[in-house]
Amino acid sequence: MKQLMISIGLVLLSAAMQSQVKLRKELSPLPPMGWMTWNLYGERIDEALIRKVADAMESTGMAAAGYRYLIIDDGWQGGRDKKNNIIADPVKFPSGIKALADYVHAKGLKLGIYSDAAPLTCAGYTASLNFEEQDARTFASWGIDYLKYDYCNAPEDSNTAKQRYTTMANALTKSGRDIVFGICEWGGRKPWFWASNAGGSVWRTTGDIRDKWKAKPGTDGEGIMDIVAVNGSLDAYAGSGRWNDPDMLVIGLYGAKGPSSDLGGIGCNDTEYQSQMSLWSMMAAPLIATNDITTMNEATKRILLNPEVIAINQDAAAIQAKRIRRDAQWEIFLKPLDGGDYALAVLNVTETEQPYNFSTEDLGLAAGFVIRDCWEHRLTGKKNKWSGKIAAHETKLFRLIKK
Ligand code: GLA
């Protein structure tokens, strides 16, 4: 009898755990969109900055375009109080994180925060190892909606990583608040195989992006194309509620001094930034801007706020594009969309303008589409065959609309 009770208990417990995991997968059915402090501001953050950015999210149309999560990265922490509760730096955040969350929520935005699966974060601040439940409760009580959880100062092996991430995900679930969990171990332990089961909605697949197109051979610091090289092959692992995260958008940074300007991060041109937006949208990646949105120029706004491109990222079919061609001249991605449309991205990887020629037949698709150029905001007037020119490093984005 006692044994029977124990096994019934175990079955119930595992059913409860499974439904928790299911719930976690429902937290971000589409790729999260937002803005994060790190790439430009690094540790130079405070509550005035977050309020200013929240205001600008509203006034620039970023919020209306879907950029909802405002995420405070590393550098907010002020240690622990006498009861071991994690606290914000009282100089940077004198009103506290709860007040900030209230401010952000009042605008219909969501607030994210950062910690790490070790005693200290990457930048050396207080982190959450062995305080997972207590910190999750604190984050929930502040009104936090997203946790980026880093892996600096933690053991290399995969089992420890899986276990530490699962512990924090369970703690977040137990907190009773819906908090999206972003796993950030830089791809070293192939998180695309396990991060969703560990409770993550998104997982970084690479090291930190630098504000550059591509690393010179033999040098450090990954640019846009170095990251696409890895993340572009991982489409099989993404789907609704589980997203490959190729790190933040560098769009509009133009080499500004900050964490993504080191290791050759001299900045990109607008054609290259347009390519990042196109490729991240095709890869169903989180769209997390990092530029100073209070002073964005028109080119940056045009790129970050393009509704046709955002619609491809946020498409309800929730499918990451497949890379269908990769050679010395082109990278081509195809993304099935809800309702039978397709998105097609064509990137010229060479250093000179190139002519292109396409037919739906080449793409393995039946006829019956009209072709829309999502950057020029016009129907090409073509049906199943079309051609044109693409500048060096430019990505053209077409929507193949089913007739
Ligand atoms: C790591 C992460 C970055 C950022 C910093 C903060 O490098 O990968 O995205 O969060 O830590 O210290």
According to the model, what pLDDT value does residue 3 have?
59
Residues 28 and 60: their CA atoms lie apart, in Å, by 24
Residues 126 and 151 both lie in one domain: yes
Residues 140 and 75 both lie in one domain: yes
pLDDT > 90? residue 54: yes
Q: Exposed/middle/buried for 95, CB within 10 Å: 0-12, 13-18, 19+?
A: middle
In a domain, 6, yes or no: no
- pLDDT average, residue stretch 90-103: 98
The pTM of the full predicted model, rounded to 2 decimals, is 0.94
In a domain, 383, yes or no: yes
Residues 61 and 212: their CA atoms lie apart, in Å, by 26
pLDDT > 90? residue 20: no
Residue bearing the bigger pLDDT, 4 or 272? 272
Give the model's confidence band at 4: pLDDT under 50 very low, under 70 low, under 90 confident, else very high: low
pLDDT > 80? residue 19: no
With the most atoms of ligand 1 within 8 angstroms of its CB, the residue from 73, 153, 185, 290 to mutate is 73
What distances in angstroms separate CA 274 from CA 244, 302, 326, 329, 357, one per listed residue?
20, 9, 19, 18, 21
- pLDDT average, residue stretch 382-395: 94
Residue the block writes with tokens 């640019």: 223
Residues 178 and 204 both lie in one domain: yes
Residue 77 Cα, ligand 1 centroid: separation in angstroms? 14
- pLDDT average, residue stretch 94-117: 98
Residues 173 and 37 both lie in one domain: yes
Residue 74 Cα, ligand 1 centroid: separation in angstroms? 7
Residues 160 and 262 both lie in one domain: yes
User: Do residues 107 and 61 lie in contact, with contact meaning Cβ atoms separated by under 8 Å?
Assistant: no
- pLDDT average, residue stretch 87-104: 98
> Which atom of ligand 1 approaches the CA of 148 most closely?
10
In a domain, 18, yes or no: no
Q: What pLDDT, in 10s, does the model give residues 331-373?
A: 999 999 999 999 999 999 999 999 999 899 999 999 899 999 9
In a domain, 13, yes or no: no
- pLDDT average, residue stretch 375-385: 92
Tell me which DSSP letter residue 339 carries. Answer: G
- Residues designated as active site: 150, 208
Give the model's confidence band at 25: pLDDT under 50 very low, under 70 low, under 90 confident, else very high: confident
In a domain, 137, yes or no: yes
In a domain, 69, yes or no: yes
In a domain, 2, yes or no: no
pLDDT > 70? residue 18: no
In a domain, 3, yes or no: no
Last residue of a domain, one of 313, 347, 367: 313
Residues 103 and 139 both lie in one domain: yes
pLDDT > 80? residue 51: yes
Q: Which residues have CB under 6 Å of ligand 1?
A: 38, 73-74, 121-123, 150, 184, 186, 208
CATH of the domain at 386: 2.60.40.1180
Residue 57 Cα, ligand 1 centroid: separation in angstroms? 23
According to the model, what pLDDT value does residue 58 have?
98
> Which atom of ligand 1 approaches the CA of 123 most closely?
12
Residues 234 and 366 both lie in one domain: no
Give the model's confidence band at 74: pLDDT under 50 very low, under 70 low, under 90 confident, else very high: very high
Residues 369 and 290 both lie in one domain: no
Last residue of a domain, one of 275, 293, 313: 313
Q: Which residues of 347-376 are buried (b: 16+ CB within 10 A; e: fewer)?
A: bbbeeeebeeebebeebebeeebbbbbbbe
Last residue of a domain, one of 283, 313, 343: 313
CATH of the domain at 141: 3.20.20.70
Residue the block writes with tokens 């879907």: 66
- pLDDT average, residue stretch 223-240: 98
Residue 223 Cα, ligand 1 centroid: separation in angstroms? 16
Residues 236 and 305 both lie in one domain: yes
pLDDT > 50? residue 124: yes
Share of the chain above pLDDT 90, in %: 91
Residues 369 and 302 both lie in one domain: no
Give the model's confidence band at 13: pLDDT under 50 very low, under 70 low, under 90 confident, else very high: very low
Residues 236 and 352 both lie in one domain: no
pLDDT > 60? residue 8: no
Q: What pLDDT, in 10s, does the model give residues 154-187?
A: 999 999 999 999 999 999 999 999 999 999 999 9
Print the domain residue range for 363.
Answer: 322-402
Count CB neighbours of 176 within 10 A. Answer: 10
According to the model, what pLDDT value does residue 23 have?
75
According to the model, what pLDDT value does residue 21 have?
45
Phi, psi of 340, deg, nearest 5: 100, -5
- pLDDT average, residue stretch 41-64: 98
Q: Average pLDDT over the chain, rounded to whole?
A: 95
pLDDT > 90? residue 42: yes
Residues 186 and 335 both lie in one domain: no
Residue bearing the bigger pLDDT, 274 or 382? 274
Structurally, the chain folds into a number of domains equal to 2
According to the model, what pLDDT value does residue 214 have?
98
Q: Exposed/middle/buried for 169, CB within 10 Å: 0-12, 13-18, 19+?
A: buried
